[in-house]
Amino acid sequence: MANEKEVMVKMVLDTWFSRVKETDKWLSQLSDAQLAADVSPGKNSGHYLLGHLVAAHDGMLPLLGMGEALHPQLREPFLMKPDKSGAAFPSLDTLRAMWTEVSAKLDEAFRARSAEEWFQRHNSVSAEDFEKEPHRNRLNVVMSRAVHLAYHNGQLALLKKD
């Protein structure tokens, strides 16, 4: 039987990959016109949410010590600013391609990590703090981003016409 760290890594990565797959499903089912709409009147558009998710996931690369962000220019319009700020957005075609690219990059990097490495600290916690708070590890970043993704998947689901 696998050791406990390996079991825990599988639990979290399975959760991550299934949530990404769910987003893939919405993106394949939603037309650009549907994605351009607000998830509920006056709330965030699918266009903004897609950019927000790409930017959030892209930021996991440096946080997890997996290289530089591929598209740091997305931080300003999609993480620092709310929707309808007047900031220019990349087209939906561009964001769909970036989503696929960033997901593939994370997929590859995640699968290359050993269980030991997952339980090391992530890059925004100091060595001293990590000594006292060993739950602030890389695997926890993936779990909290999977939860964040689920939150927005619940909103993207509303764009689907029955």
**Distance in Å, CB of 147 to a copy of itself, minimum:** 5
Distances (CA, A) of 83 to 50, 76, 77, 102, 116: 11, 11, 8, 21, 39
Instruction: Choose, by CB under 8 A, the member of 7, 33, 80, 97 that binds a copy of itself.
Output: 7
Tokens of 108: 């590859």
Distances (CA, A) of 45 to 8, 26, 73, 128: 35, 14, 19, 41
Distance from chain centroid for Cα 145: 6
Distance from chain centroid for Cα 14: 14
**Distance in Å, CB of 2 to a copy of itself, minimum:** 6
Query: Does 79 sit near a copy of itself (CB under 8 A)?
Result: no
Closer CB to a copy of itself, 67 or 154, in the complex: 154
Tokens of 56: 């959030």
Query: Does 131 sit near a copy of itself (CB under 8 A)?
Result: yes
Query: Does 45 sit near a copy of itself (CB under 8 A)?
Result: no
Interface ranges with a copy of itself (CB under 8 A): 1-2, 4-5, 7-8, 10-12, 14-15, 19, 39-43, 119, 131, 134-135, 137, 139-140, 143-144, 146-148, 150-155, 158, 162
